[in-house]
């Protein structure tokens, strides 16, 4: 059974939902940080200007989309 099915069946108490959600948030942040820390910046820079520009452009785009969605959805 997956999470929503367990909740629908009443097998997960209401009091456990907040700690489970908080744990999921923390684990998501840790896994994303691990992915980012696994990148060797010197190898990206050594790959050439076009690759470095593509990496920087993708980070700028990701940041812009993230901040835009946070503002639009009123999350923060």
3-state secondary structure labels for all residues of the chain: CCHHHHHHCCCCCHHHHHHHHHHHHHHHHHHHHHHHHCCCHHHHHHCCHHHHHHHHHHHHHHHHHHHHHHHHHCCC
Query: What parts of the chain have a pLDDT lower than 70?
Result: 1
pTM of the full predicted structure? 0.51
- Tens of pLDDT, residues 45-62: 788 889 889 988 999 999
Cα separations (Å) of 30 from 2, 46, 50, 63? 22, 27, 29, 18
């Amino acid at each position: 059974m997956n999470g929503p099915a367990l909740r629908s069946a009443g097998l997960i108490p209401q009091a456990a939902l907040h700690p489970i959600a908080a744990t999921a948030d923390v684990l998501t942040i840790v896994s994303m940080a691990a992915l980012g820390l696994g990148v060797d910046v010197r190898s990206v820079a050594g790959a050439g200007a076009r690759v470095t520009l593509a990496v920087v452009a993708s980070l700028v785009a990701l940041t812009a989309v993230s901040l835009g969605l946070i503002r639009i959805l009123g999350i923060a």
